[in-house]
Amino acid sequence: MSDTETHLKKFEKELAAGTVSLVLLAVLAAAREPLYGYQIAKRLEQEAGVLAGKQSALYPVLRNLSAAELLDTHVEPSVAGPPRRYYRITPLGRRVLREWIEAWTATRRSVDSIIKT
């Protein structure tokens, strides 16, 4: 393992930590029906990229978002296993998401312009 790889891993981890809440909110805002953790993880998996970190990291974040009332949550029994916890975005979550997207776009624009020079 080369020594640049550990730096890359660390950087990816920090990027993911900053963006995972945004991505989760966006996924749930786009979804028509409430989703449970596994479904959300699968949707993210298709897009891969930096966010393809360990999916176990999503669950605590989901819980935090719902504690902050950005997401609504309810439990439904399932045939396959333990009851599933479904998440749905709240109106507050949508408002917050809009602001986050603005912040993200601004950040991306300035980072891009600095990198290009």
Partner 1 sequence: MNSTPQTIGEYLDQLRAALAGADPAMIQDALYDAEEHLRSELADNPGMSEAELLAKISGSYGAPEEVAEIYRNQEVTVTRALRPPPRREPSSNPITRFFAVAGDPHAYAAMFYLLLSLATGIFYFTWAIAGIALSMAFALSLVGIPFLILFFGSVRMLSLLEGRIVEGMLGVRMPRRPPYADRDLPLGKRIVAMFTDPRSWSSLFYMLVMLPLGIIYFVLLVVSTAVPVALMAAPFAQAIWRLPVAQIGDIDFYAPAWTWPIEFVVGFLGLFVMLHVARGIGRMHGAVAKSLLVKIAA
Quote the tokens at residue 23. Answer: 């991505």
If one asks whether residue 115 binds partner 1 (CB under 8 A), the answer comes out as no
If one asks whether residue 46 binds partner 1 (CB under 8 A), the answer comes out as no
Alpha helices in 1-88 (DSSP H): 3-30, 37-47, 58-67
Instruction: Rank residues 77 and 111 by Cβ distance to partner 1 and give the closer one.
Output: 77
Q: Which of residues 53-82 bind partner 1 (CB under 8 A)?
A: 54-57, 59-61, 63-64, 78-82
**Greatest C-alpha distance within the chain:** 56
Which of residues 15, 16, 85, 101 is near partner 1 by CB under 8 A? 85
CA distances from 93 to 11, 15, 21, 40, 90 (A): 27, 21, 11, 16, 5
Binding site for partner 1 (CB under 8 A): 36-39, 41-42, 45, 54-57, 59-61, 63-64, 78-85
